[in-house]
A and B are shown apart, each in its own frame.
Chain A
Amino acid sequence: MNEGDRVGDRRLLRRELRTSRATPAVVVAVVLLGAALGTAAAAIWTTDPSGASLVQDGAVAVRTAWEEPSWRAAAAAVAGIAGIALIVLAIAPGRRRRHGRGGARVELVVDDGLLADAAAQAVARHCALAASQVSATVTARRVRVRIRPISGVPVDRAGAADAARGALERMGFGIRPVVTVDAKGVVA
């Protein structure tokens, strides 16, 4: 694989692992479009005296509301919250709930839920427990396994951790396991 392919791999993976923020951007664009067209329309209408009255009534209403402190506070609060939310959306990385890795021929992307399933299955098999007694969650860098033991039967934590890690390594992902065992067990 030459250098050009490598760079392409990274770009392919990045595309799959981060949200594009397209939906919020489109929503914002539509809202702004409405505002822009409304402003232009209002400005053009008021040049013609007959159409002016409706817009002027509206303008008067807005102006009186502008003087009212409670209205201003409400408007400011809404705008402030929306503004902060949009800025956060713009800046936050937006990691999607999946893991990706390059490979010899294909780039592999697996949803975190499937990785969790695989880890939980492997742990349940290793510890000879029912599937309902093992639950797993995959986050950005960890796989958190939670075991509800059988009362009276000790749980091999190290073995469980190895099983979880191994299941994910078989797919080519190196994710560190964290195993917690519930204090309360199931009686048989």
Chain B
Amino acid sequence: MSSSSRILNRVLLLLAGLIAFVGALFAARPLLPERLFAPWWPPVQRAIDDASHAVSSWSTPWAAADGARIAAAAGGVIAAIALIAFLLTRRRPRTRTVLRFQDRTGSTAVDETIADAVLTEPFRHRSDVLSSRMQGYRVAGRTALRLSVVPRSGADLPALLAETERGVERWDALSGTRTPVVVHFADRGGFDRLRSATRTR
């Protein structure tokens, strides 16, 4: 996910949180001591009243609708469209094509399955690796590769790292470029939780 996409996630969470919190304040107003609200509430109340009067004065000729309903319907539809657009852009930017060479007579493209085979090949027959997987994704306008390796407990991590570097060297030779690579040594079970290393060997 790009950084602007991530920021958008947090902005939405912040907006929703503020709306919920302000709504809570609004709902609790008669229950809370007046002192909390006295300094700033009256002008806010006036603004709300003015806005609702302005909205109520709208009307359409072809429906028996008052301004409040129109505002609610329009606001709801606009918000719905914005939210649907937001949701549609939440897809992870995966790429199936990790390399592309183009010239006058056509193009040569390389699928991520090729990079997967080259980069995970050293791990396929190792007993100290439970699984390995490679995915391509786009970041900052470039294609990057993420190699995920799940080692068996007790595996020698520096040795595995050396193996990945050898695989990356082979990929560099084959691809003719230095694609950005992230190597992720992952915990078993697919979760990030802290685990103590207490185990019998």
Q: Which residues of A contact B (CB under 8 A)?
A: 5, 7-9, 11-16, 18, 20-22, 24-26, 28-30, 32-33, 36-44, 46-47, 69, 72-73, 75-80, 82-91, 96-98, 105-114, 116-121, 130-132, 134-139, 146, 170-171
- Among the listed B14, B22, B185, which residue makes an inter-chain contact with A90, where contact means beta carbons less than 8 Å apart? B14
User: Is the CB–CB distance between A29 and B161 below 8 Å?
Assistant: no
A28-B180 contact, Cβ under 8 Å, with A15-B139, A21-B6, A117-B197: no
Complex Cα gap A165–B196 (Å): 16
B42-50, B75-83, B97-105, B109-117: which lies at the A interface? Answer: B75-83
* Contact status B144-A106, CB under 8 Å: no
Interface positions, chain B 59-77, Cβ under 8 Å from A, are: 63-65, 69-70, 72-77
Given contacts A79-B20, A79-B23, A106-B164, 14 further A-B contacts (CB under 8 A): A36-B76, A44-B69, A46-B69, A69-B31, A77-B24, A82-B17, A82-B20, A84-B17, A89-B13, A113-B193, A117-B195, A130-B200, A134-B197, A170-B157
Nearest Cβ distance between residue A123 and chain B, in whole angstroms? 9
Which of B80, B178, B181, B183 makes the CB contact (< 8 A) with A36?
B80
Most A CB atoms within 10 A — which of B20, B87, B184? B20
The reply to whether the CB of B125 lies closer than 8 angstroms to some CB of chain A is no
Residues of A contacting B142 with CB < 8 Å?
Answer: 8
Taking beta carbons and an 8 Å cutoff, which residues of B are in contact with A? Answer: 1, 3, 5-6, 8-14, 16-25, 27-28, 30-31, 63-65, 69-70, 72-77, 79-80, 83-84, 86-87, 90, 139-140, 142, 144, 146, 151, 153-154, 157-158, 161, 164-165, 168, 178, 180-187, 192-201
Of chain A, the residue at the smallest CB distance from B64 is A47
How far does the alpha carbon of A132 sit from the alpha carbon of B72 in the complex, in Å? 63
Q: Quick check: A11 and B140 within 8 Å, CB to CB?
A: yes
Q: A36-B83, A80-B20, A171-B161 are in contact. Are A90 and B11 (CB under 8 A)?
A: yes
State whether A37 touches B200 (Cβ < 8 A). Answer: no
Most A-side CB within 10 Å, residue of B11, B17, B18, B86: B17
Q: Give the residues in chain B near A97, CB-CB below 8 Å.
A: 192-194
Residues of A with C-beta under 8 A to B161? 108, 171
Task: Give CA–CA (A85, B3) in the complex, Å.
Answer: 22
Shortest beta-carbon contacts, A-B, top 7: A40-B76, A86-B17, A83-B21, A120-B197, A83-B20, A80-B24, A87-B17
Q: Which residues of A contact B75 (CB under 8 A)?
A: 36, 39-40
CB nearest to A79 among chain B residues: B24
In the complex the two chains form, what is the Cα distance from A55 to B19 in whole Å?
24
* B17 lies within 8 A of A83 (CB): yes
CA distance A72 to B144 in the complex (A): 51
A135 touches B198 (CB 8 A): yes
Give 20 pairs: A residue, B residue, CB < 8 Å, sorted on A: A12-B180, A14-B3, A21-B10, A22-B90, A25-B12, A28-B13, A33-B87, A36-B75, A39-B73, A40-B73, A40-B74, A76-B31, A78-B24, A91-B14, A96-B192, A107-B181, A108-B182, A116-B195, A117-B154, A137-B194
Q: Tell me, rounded to whole Å, the shortest Cβ–Cβ distance linking A174 to chain B.
A: 15
